Amino acid sequence: MIAATLSRRLPRLPISVFIGLMILFLVLLCAIAPQLVAPYDPLAFDFSALLQPPTWTHPFGTDQFGRDILSRVIAASQIDLQIAFFATTGPLIVGSLIGLFVGYFGGVADAVFGRIVDLVVTFPFLVLVIAIVAVLGPGLINMYIAIGVVGWVFYARLMRAEVQVQRQNEYVAAARVLGYSVPRILFRHILPNAIRPVIVYWVTDMALAILLGSSLGYLGLGAQPPTAEWGVLVADGKNFFTQAPWMCFFPGLAVVVCGLGFSLTGDGFADLLDVKR
Protein backbone atom coordinates (compact mmCIF):
# COMPACT_ATOMS: atom_id res chain seq x y z
CA MET A 1 0.00 0.00 0.00
CA ILE A 2 2.86 2.37 0.84
CA ALA A 3 4.51 1.48 -2.44
CA ALA A 4 1.30 2.23 -4.29
CA THR A 5 1.00 5.60 -2.59
CA LEU A 6 4.61 6.43 -3.39
CA SER A 7 4.39 5.45 -7.03
CA ARG A 8 1.32 7.63 -7.34
CA ARG A 9 3.14 10.56 -5.80
CA LEU A 10 6.75 10.14 -6.94
CA PRO A 11 6.21 11.19 -10.56
CA ARG A 12 5.00 14.52 -9.23
CA LEU A 13 8.15 14.87 -7.11
CA PRO A 14 9.77 18.02 -8.50
CA ILE A 15 13.52 18.16 -9.15
CA SER A 16 14.01 20.67 -6.33
CA VAL A 17 12.67 18.21 -3.74
CA PHE A 18 14.87 15.51 -5.19
CA ILE A 19 17.93 17.73 -4.77
CA GLY A 20 16.83 18.66 -1.25
CA LEU A 21 16.49 15.02 -0.24
CA MET A 22 19.87 14.16 -1.81
CA ILE A 23 21.57 16.91 0.21
CA LEU A 24 19.92 15.76 3.43
CA PHE A 25 20.89 12.18 2.67
CA LEU A 26 24.55 13.19 2.22
CA VAL A 27 24.54 15.25 5.42
CA LEU A 28 22.94 12.38 7.27
CA LEU A 29 25.58 9.98 5.94
CA CYS A 30 28.34 12.34 7.13
CA ALA A 31 26.70 12.60 10.54
CA ILE A 32 26.18 8.87 11.00
CA ALA A 33 29.58 7.64 9.74
CA PRO A 34 32.08 10.52 9.56
CA GLN A 35 35.03 8.10 9.68
CA LEU A 36 33.86 6.52 6.39
CA VAL A 37 33.55 9.80 4.54
CA ALA A 38 36.25 11.96 6.06
CA PRO A 39 39.79 11.56 4.61
CA TYR A 40 41.57 12.53 7.87
CA ASP A 41 41.06 12.54 11.62
CA PRO A 42 39.35 15.90 12.27
CA LEU A 43 41.43 16.45 15.41
CA ALA A 44 44.86 15.33 14.07
CA PHE A 45 47.46 18.11 13.92
CA ASP A 46 49.84 18.18 10.94
CA PHE A 47 52.57 20.79 11.42
CA SER A 48 53.97 20.08 7.97
CA ALA A 49 50.81 21.44 6.36
CA LEU A 50 49.68 24.60 8.21
CA LEU A 51 47.12 26.95 6.57
CA GLN A 52 47.28 25.07 3.27
CA PRO A 53 44.93 26.35 0.52
CA PRO A 54 42.59 23.79 -1.08
CA THR A 55 44.59 21.15 -2.96
CA TRP A 56 43.92 17.58 -4.05
CA THR A 57 45.31 16.23 -0.75
CA HIS A 58 43.26 18.73 1.32
CA PRO A 59 40.23 19.67 -0.86
CA PHE A 60 38.98 22.30 1.65
CA GLY A 61 42.51 23.31 2.82
CA THR A 62 43.88 23.12 6.37
CA ASP A 63 43.77 25.35 9.45
CA GLN A 64 46.44 26.89 11.70
CA PHE A 65 47.20 23.50 13.26
CA GLY A 66 47.21 21.66 9.95
CA ARG A 67 43.84 19.98 10.62
CA ASP A 68 41.94 19.00 7.46
CA ILE A 69 38.97 21.40 7.00
CA LEU A 70 36.94 18.88 4.96
CA SER A 71 37.20 16.33 7.74
CA ARG A 72 36.24 18.97 10.31
CA VAL A 73 33.23 20.12 8.27
CA ILE A 74 32.13 16.50 7.95
CA ALA A 75 32.60 15.88 11.68
CA ALA A 76 30.65 19.07 12.45
CA SER A 77 27.62 17.82 10.53
CA GLN A 78 26.91 15.54 13.49
CA ILE A 79 26.41 18.45 15.88
CA ASP A 80 24.60 20.63 13.36
CA LEU A 81 22.14 17.93 12.36
CA GLN A 82 21.55 17.29 16.03
CA ILE A 83 20.80 21.00 16.49
CA ALA A 84 18.43 20.97 13.52
CA PHE A 85 16.53 18.09 15.05
CA PHE A 86 16.47 18.87 18.76
CA ALA A 87 16.02 22.63 18.45
CA THR A 88 12.85 22.03 16.41
CA THR A 89 11.39 18.81 17.76
CA GLY A 90 11.04 20.00 21.35
CA PRO A 91 9.09 23.10 20.27
CA LEU A 92 7.13 20.92 17.81
CA ILE A 93 5.86 18.62 20.54
CA VAL A 94 5.27 21.22 23.23
CA GLY A 95 3.85 23.81 20.84
CA SER A 96 1.51 21.35 19.11
CA LEU A 97 0.11 20.11 22.40
CA ILE A 98 -0.49 23.63 23.71
CA GLY A 99 -1.98 24.70 20.38
CA LEU A 100 -4.25 21.66 20.39
CA PHE A 101 -5.58 22.45 23.86
CA VAL A 102 -6.07 26.20 23.52
CA GLY A 103 -7.53 25.76 20.04
CA TYR A 104 -10.08 23.24 21.27
CA PHE A 105 -11.03 24.69 24.63
CA GLY A 106 -10.61 28.42 23.92
CA GLY A 107 -11.67 30.63 26.80
CA VAL A 108 -9.25 32.01 29.36
CA ALA A 109 -6.36 29.73 28.34
CA ASP A 110 -6.69 30.95 24.78
CA ALA A 111 -6.73 34.60 25.84
CA VAL A 112 -3.59 34.09 27.95
CA PHE A 113 -1.97 32.28 25.04
CA GLY A 114 -2.81 35.18 22.74
CA ARG A 115 -0.99 37.62 25.05
CA ILE A 116 2.06 35.33 25.23
CA VAL A 117 2.18 35.18 21.43
CA ASP A 118 1.94 38.97 21.22
CA LEU A 119 4.78 39.27 23.71
CA VAL A 120 7.08 36.82 21.94
CA VAL A 121 6.57 38.06 18.38
CA THR A 122 7.32 41.62 19.51
CA PHE A 123 11.01 40.71 19.89
CA PRO A 124 13.18 39.60 16.98
CA PHE A 125 13.63 35.85 17.37
CA LEU A 126 17.45 35.87 17.44
CA VAL A 127 17.64 38.74 19.95
CA LEU A 128 15.28 36.94 22.32
CA VAL A 129 17.21 33.65 22.04
CA ILE A 130 20.55 35.41 22.60
CA ALA A 131 19.13 37.21 25.64
CA ILE A 132 17.97 33.92 27.17
CA VAL A 133 21.28 32.13 26.45
CA ALA A 134 23.10 35.11 27.96
CA VAL A 135 21.10 34.62 31.16
CA LEU A 136 21.49 30.81 31.25
CA GLY A 137 25.12 30.78 30.14
CA PRO A 138 26.56 29.48 26.85
CA GLY A 139 26.45 25.81 25.83
CA LEU A 140 24.46 23.44 23.63
CA ILE A 141 21.90 22.43 26.25
CA ASN A 142 21.16 26.02 27.23
CA MET A 143 20.84 26.87 23.57
CA TYR A 144 18.19 24.16 23.14
CA ILE A 145 16.34 25.52 26.14
CA ALA A 146 16.47 29.08 24.81
CA ILE A 147 15.24 28.08 21.33
CA GLY A 148 12.56 25.89 22.88
CA VAL A 149 11.29 28.64 25.16
CA VAL A 150 10.76 30.93 22.17
CA GLY A 151 10.12 28.45 19.37
CA TRP A 152 7.07 26.59 20.73
CA VAL A 153 4.98 29.71 20.24
CA PHE A 154 5.12 29.46 16.46
CA TYR A 155 4.08 25.80 16.42
CA ALA A 156 1.32 26.46 18.93
CA ARG A 157 -0.01 29.38 16.91
CA LEU A 158 -0.13 27.30 13.74
CA MET A 159 -1.75 24.35 15.51
CA ARG A 160 -4.31 26.51 17.31
CA ALA A 161 -5.51 28.07 14.05
CA GLU A 162 -5.84 24.68 12.38
CA VAL A 163 -7.64 23.13 15.36
CA GLN A 164 -10.11 26.00 15.39
CA VAL A 165 -10.95 25.21 11.78
CA GLN A 166 -11.22 21.46 12.41
CA ARG A 167 -13.28 21.93 15.57
CA GLN A 168 -16.11 23.40 13.49
CA ASN A 169 -16.29 20.26 11.39
CA GLU A 170 -19.23 17.98 11.94
CA TYR A 171 -17.05 14.94 12.62
CA VAL A 172 -16.02 16.51 15.93
CA ALA A 173 -19.66 16.95 16.92
CA ALA A 174 -20.25 13.38 15.77
CA ALA A 175 -17.41 12.12 17.97
CA ARG A 176 -18.80 14.00 20.97
CA VAL A 177 -22.29 12.69 20.42
CA LEU A 178 -20.90 9.15 20.22
CA GLY A 179 -19.73 9.60 23.80
CA TYR A 180 -15.98 9.70 23.15
CA SER A 181 -13.67 11.18 25.78
CA VAL A 182 -12.02 14.55 25.24
CA PRO A 183 -8.48 13.07 24.94
CA ARG A 184 -9.76 10.63 22.32
CA ILE A 185 -11.42 13.43 20.33
CA LEU A 186 -8.30 15.59 20.57
CA PHE A 187 -5.66 13.02 19.72
CA ARG A 188 -7.49 10.50 17.57
CA HIS A 189 -9.79 12.79 15.63
CA ILE A 190 -8.56 16.36 15.56
CA LEU A 191 -4.76 15.96 15.75
CA PRO A 192 -4.28 13.87 12.59
CA ASN A 193 -6.47 16.32 10.67
CA ALA A 194 -4.68 19.39 11.97
CA ILE A 195 -1.04 18.30 11.99
CA ARG A 196 -0.09 18.75 8.32
CA PRO A 197 0.81 22.47 8.25
CA VAL A 198 2.75 21.94 11.48
CA ILE A 199 4.80 19.12 9.96
CA VAL A 200 5.64 21.24 6.94
CA TYR A 201 6.66 24.13 9.17
CA TRP A 202 8.79 21.74 11.21
CA VAL A 203 10.91 20.70 8.22
CA THR A 204 11.30 24.30 7.08
CA ASP A 205 12.12 25.32 10.63
CA MET A 206 15.07 22.90 10.62
CA ALA A 207 16.73 25.11 8.00
CA LEU A 208 16.31 28.08 10.32
CA ALA A 209 17.59 26.04 13.27
CA ILE A 210 20.81 25.22 11.38
CA LEU A 211 21.34 28.92 10.71
CA LEU A 212 20.47 29.83 14.28
CA GLY A 213 22.69 27.09 15.77
CA SER A 214 25.71 28.15 13.73
CA SER A 215 25.01 31.84 14.46
CA LEU A 216 25.05 31.13 18.17
CA GLY A 217 28.11 28.88 17.73
CA TYR A 218 29.87 31.72 15.92
CA LEU A 219 29.01 34.11 18.74
CA GLY A 220 30.34 31.60 21.26
CA LEU A 221 26.90 31.03 22.81
CA GLY A 222 26.13 27.61 21.37
CA ALA A 223 28.48 24.65 20.89
CA GLN A 224 31.81 25.32 22.60
CA PRO A 225 35.26 24.72 21.04
CA PRO A 226 36.87 22.26 20.53
CA THR A 227 33.54 20.73 19.47
CA ALA A 228 33.44 20.92 15.71
CA GLU A 229 30.35 22.89 14.72
CA TRP A 230 30.00 24.91 11.51
CA GLY A 231 29.45 28.22 13.29
CA VAL A 232 32.39 27.52 15.61
CA LEU A 233 34.56 26.63 12.60
CA VAL A 234 33.67 29.93 10.92
CA ALA A 235 34.50 31.76 14.15
CA ASP A 236 37.86 29.91 14.35
CA GLY A 237 38.69 30.95 10.81
CA LYS A 238 37.83 34.62 11.13
CA ASN A 239 41.25 35.43 12.71
CA PHE A 240 43.00 34.04 9.63
CA PHE A 241 40.49 35.45 7.16
CA THR A 242 43.03 37.46 5.15
CA GLN A 243 45.60 34.61 4.84
CA ALA A 244 43.25 31.61 4.75
CA PRO A 245 39.70 32.56 3.68
CA TRP A 246 38.90 28.86 3.00
CA MET A 247 38.76 28.30 6.77
CA CYS A 248 35.56 30.40 6.90
CA PHE A 249 34.27 29.75 3.41
CA PHE A 250 33.76 25.97 3.51
CA PRO A 251 31.99 25.68 6.89
CA GLY A 252 29.82 28.62 5.80
CA LEU A 253 29.06 26.84 2.54
CA ALA A 254 28.08 23.74 4.52
CA VAL A 255 25.53 25.82 6.49
CA VAL A 256 24.07 27.23 3.28
CA VAL A 257 23.87 23.88 1.48
CA CYS A 258 22.37 22.06 4.45
CA GLY A 259 19.86 24.87 5.03
CA LEU A 260 18.96 24.69 1.34
CA GLY A 261 18.41 20.95 1.67
CA PHE A 262 15.87 21.45 4.46
CA SER A 263 14.15 24.33 2.66
CA LEU A 264 13.74 22.44 -0.60
CA THR A 265 12.47 19.36 1.22
CA GLY A 266 10.08 21.47 3.31
CA ASP A 267 8.63 23.11 0.19
CA GLY A 268 8.24 19.69 -1.39
CA PHE A 269 6.41 18.44 1.70
CA ALA A 270 4.09 21.43 1.49
CA ASP A 271 3.22 20.53 -2.09
CA LEU A 272 2.87 16.82 -1.42
CA LEU A 273 0.69 17.32 1.64
CA ASP A 274 -1.23 20.04 -0.20
CA VAL A 275 -0.71 22.65 2.50
CA LYS A 276 -1.42 26.21 1.44
CA ARG A 277 0.96 28.77 2.80
Partner 1 sequence: MMVSVEPLLRVNDMHVSFETGHGSVRAVDGLDLEVRAGEVLGLVGESGSGKSVTLRSITRILQPNARVKGQVFWRGEDLLRMSETRLRAVRGAEIAMIFQEPMTALNPVLPISLQIDEALVAHTTLGRAARRKRAIELLGLVGIPAAAERLDSYPHEFSGGMRQRAMIAIALAADPALLLADEPTTALDVTIQDQILKLLLRLVDDLGMAMILVTHDLGVVAETCSQVAVMYAGRIAEAGPVEAIFYHPRHAYTHALLNSMPDSSAARVALKPIPGQPPRLDRPIQGCPFVPRCTWATPPCESRPPIVTVGPGHVSACTAAHRLPSRIVPA
Which residues of this protein are in contact with partner 1, per CB under 8 A?
106-107, 169-171, 173-181, 184, 188-189, 192-193
Q: How far is the CB of 160 from partner 1 (least distance, A)?
A: 15
Least distance CB 193 / partner 1 (angstroms): 6
Write b or e for each residue in 145-162: b if 16 or more Cβ atoms lie within 10 A of its Cβ, otherwise e.
Answer: bbbbbbbbbbbbbbbbeb
Question: DSSP assignment, residue 29?
Answer: H
Q: Which is nearer to partner 1, 195 or 255 (CB)?
A: 195
Nearer to partner 1, 134 or 174 (CB): 174
Contacts of 257 (CB under 8 A, 6+ apart): 23
Between residues 125 and 180, which has the closer beta carbon with respect to partner 1? Answer: 180
Residue nearer to partner 1 on the CB measure, 195 or 233: 195
Cα–Cα distances in Å, from 250 out to 31, 74, 113? 17, 11, 42
CA distances from 208 to 19, 58, 107 (A): 18, 30, 33
**Shortest spacing between CB 174 and partner 1, in angstroms:** 5
Beta-carbon count within 10 A of 68 CB = 25
For the bound state, the minimum distance from the C-beta of residue 186 to partner 1, rounded and expressed in Å, comes to: 13
